[in-house]
Structure formats: structure tokens, C-alpha cells
Structure 1
């Protein structure tokens, strides 16, 4: 709270002109939030995100901003709006998420930042994917590819992986495999850019790529054994990931994909083992993506009727209890 108050005071003390201290402090705060977002529960970050977005908007609307300062402020406002779009998505509100994402894209446009445009299109693809609109998710991934142009940062890998997941849900095996190969080729040519320099939610590390590839293969459903081995690789990658690469939401996604892959092979005991770490997550970390992934496992579990017993029945009951208390119940 004291740090947030200091940030507001610095901005106001420098007057209507934006000084280097204000811009530097906002940049540092945005970077802190991008690094923290994949690791910390949303309720601990939401107030700071709203505060920084409001500050950048007010400075852009009412401050005397030099052209180069305006470009940086628009970029910072875009990143913050993108994180708030992700926050709305994590709370299960795709409409608000898209509204924030469109604001982020306008900011990226005003900053004339190609990588940020591509990053926002990636975010819109993610929102559409989890909202059950895979064709729209594929379209946004295509728009991102067009916006990327000469972008060589890890956002280009994210776009290919998003395309793979969307086409897998659409049942297009050829497009899915082509997108997975494109992701591998793009990864080999990556040159980290300024968005990667922010870290956290603004970059797309290799464990996350393994998770997306596994999810695409599992949902395509053509090779259950391959889906299981890829999911195991993704889970293992997150268990050994560096602090910079680890994300609780993506690790949970990899674990639910492993559960789905084992279900496809009839390994019910292995399903329970795979999904256990997910069901042990506290309410603060039960975001929309995680609860949706758990519900996919629930839907795939065999049902023996109301009086069913055994591992599958017990697991169905646990998942129902888990998804009944998502993170959104903590946000008012």
C-alpha cells in the first residue's frame, strides 16, 4: 500500500509534465506485475493492476507527454490492460476480458508496437478458446500472425501454439500438426524482444510450449499414447522449471491433460494420480482455465449412474466440489 501511494505521489509531484522518475517507476511496477502474474493468486494482484492502469490512463489523458514518452506510456498501458483482460478471463468473464483486450490493442496501436499487437491477438485467441469458440480462437491466432510481421520474440511461438490448440478442438489434424511444426521452427529462430524482457506473462517459455502441444494432441484424439507422453513431458518440465518459467495455471493445465490422456487409455488410477495436485489447489488459484480443465476431466470420466462407486465416482464428486468454489467467489 505504501509503495502504491509513493507511485501516485511521484506522478502528481512531477506535475502535469511526465518526468523520468514517474515513467521509470511505472515501468518497474508493470514489470513486477508481469513477473508476478503467473505465480501469484489473482486476488493479491488485482488492486495493483487496477491502480497502475488508472494511473497510465490519467497521465495519457491529462498529462503533458512528449512523443517518445507517449509511446512508452501507451505500451505500459497496453500491457496493464492485457493483464486485466487475463484477470477478467481468469474470473470467468470473457466479455469483460475482450473489452480490456481491445483497449490493450488500441494502446499497442498508439505505441506502434508490432510485438504488442501480436501479443494482444494471442490473448484474444486464448480468451476465445476457453470461452468455447475454437474457430474464433483460430481466427485471432491468424490475425496475430499477420500483425507479427518481423516479430522474432516468443510471442510468435505462442501464436503457433494457440493455432494448434484451436484447430485440435475443430478436429483439423493437418492444421494442428502444421501449427505444432511451425511452433518448433519458430522457437529455433527466436530472438527475445522487449516484451520478453518484461518476463512472466509477457513471454512464452518452453515448458508452456510443451503444455500447449500436449493439449492440442490430447484434444485432437488421434494418438492417445503420444498425448500421454507429451503430457508427461510437460508435467516434468514444470516440475523442473526455473522460477522465471514456472506458472501454476499452466502446470495445472498440463496435469489435467495428462489425466485426459490416461482416460483415453483407460487408466483410471493414473487419472486420479495426475489430477490430484490440481484438486489440492486453494480457492485463490482456482481460476477459470483451471476449473474448466478440471470439468473436461469430469465430463470424460465414465459414469455408472447415481449410485456409482469406485475411483471414477469418487473423482467426479471431488471435481464437482473443486469447481463449485472458483477464484471468482473471492472477488467482489
Structure 2
């Protein structure tokens, strides 16, 4: 996931395809293990893949897919208690809501991202998401 995330900014079909493949592999592995530590790591991989796919979908203006992936990332992040993934997912939900004209929802999602973001870069990004919503295009 680290390598995928680092190279994902290029948004090539290969990167998206590989992210989908990793997500499917992690989901299959999740079905085969009963070990909590392994399950947590696999849920994190699935959540991260969903977050990347939400971002890619939003970049392509595939708003329904972007929202679906962002919701999935948030749900998996909640399962494992990963506030960073959840904050990113809420930020993606805010982005989708904003670009689809649902401004009140965008503010609600962005505010939720700020509330759950862990200290550090994640919190700064979440705050910037709230500020960006109020700037003119």
C-alpha cells in the first residue's frame, strides 16, 4: 500500500488497477484468517485502498463511486479505530459533497474530519479542508 500510495498521484490506469487488485487480495485474506492482528492489518489495507480509490474516482468526477469508496474507507477505519483513515475518508466525503453542490453536507463532513483527525499532518490537512471550502474558486 505504501508504494501504491506514493505513486498514486500519477493516476494511471495501472495504479488504479493495482489498487483494486490489492484491495481484493486483502479482502480474500481477511476471510482466511481469524487472528485479530492480521485482521486489523488487512482492514487497514482495505481502508487505504478504498481511500485511494475514492480519490481517483473524485479526480475523474465519478462522484457516486468516490462517495461509495469514501464511505467504505470510513467504515473500515471505524472497525479498526484508525482515526487517520477516517479523517481522510471524511475529507473525501466533504470533497464529493462540495463538488456535487451539497455545501451543507460538505461542511458537516469536513468538520467531522477535523474532530476525528489525529494530531500532526492529518489534523492540519483536515483543518485545511474546512478552510478551503470557504475560499472562492
Q: TM-score, normalised by structure 2?
A: 0.91
Q: Is the 8 A contact 2:97 2:103 kept in 1?
A: yes
2:24 aligned partner: 54
Unaligned runs of 5+ in 2: none
In the TM superposition, what are the counterparts of 1:10-49 in structure 2 within 5 Å?
A: 30-38=1-9, 40-49=10-19
In the TM superposition, what are the counterparts of 1:234-249 in structure 2 within 5 Å?
A: none
Q: Is the 8 A contact 2:33 2:39 kept in 1?
A: no
Q: Is the 8 A contact 2:43 2:80 kept in 1?
A: yes
Deviation at 1:52, TM superposition (A): 0.5
**CA 1:130 to 1:42, structure 2 compared with 1: closer, same or farther past 3 Å?**
farther
Aligned equivalents of 1:80 and 1:50: distance in 2?
7
Please state whether the residue corresponding to 1:81 is helix, strand or coil: helix
Q: Is the 8 A contact 1:138 1:162 kept in 2?
A: no
Deviation at 1:98, TM superposition (A): 0.7
Q: TM-score, normalised by structure 1?
A: 0.39
Aligned equivalents of 1:106 and 1:85: distance in 2?
13
Residue 121 (structure 2) aligned to one of 151, 154, 173? 154
2:64 aligned partner: 95
In the TM superposition, what are the counterparts of 1:180-259 in structure 2 within 5 Å?
A: 216=135, 219=136
Query: How many aligned positions are there?
Result: 137
Q: Is the 8 A contact 1:57 1:77 kept in 2?
A: yes
2:131 aligned partner: 164
In the TM superposition, what are the counterparts of 1:126-165 in structure 2 within 5 Å?
A: 126-148=95-117, 151-165=118-132
Residues 183-204 of structure 1: CA deviation (Å, up to 9, x unaligned) = xxxxxxxxxxxxxxxxxxxxxx
RMSD after superposition: 1.5
1:18 aligned partner: none
**CA 1:113 to 1:77, structure 2 compared with 1: closer, same or farther past 3 Å?**
same
| Larger RCO (CA within 8 A; separation ≥ 6) | 2
Q: Is the 8 A contact 1:42 1:87 kept in 2?
A: no
Aligned equivalents of 1:59 and 1:81: distance in 2?
16
Structure whose CA Rg is larger: 1
Deviation at 1:97, TM superposition (A): 0.9
Aligned equivalents of 1:51 and 1:74: distance in 2?
15
Give the helix-richer structure, 1 or 2: 2
Unaligned runs of 5+ in 1: 1-29, 169-215, 220-256, 258-332
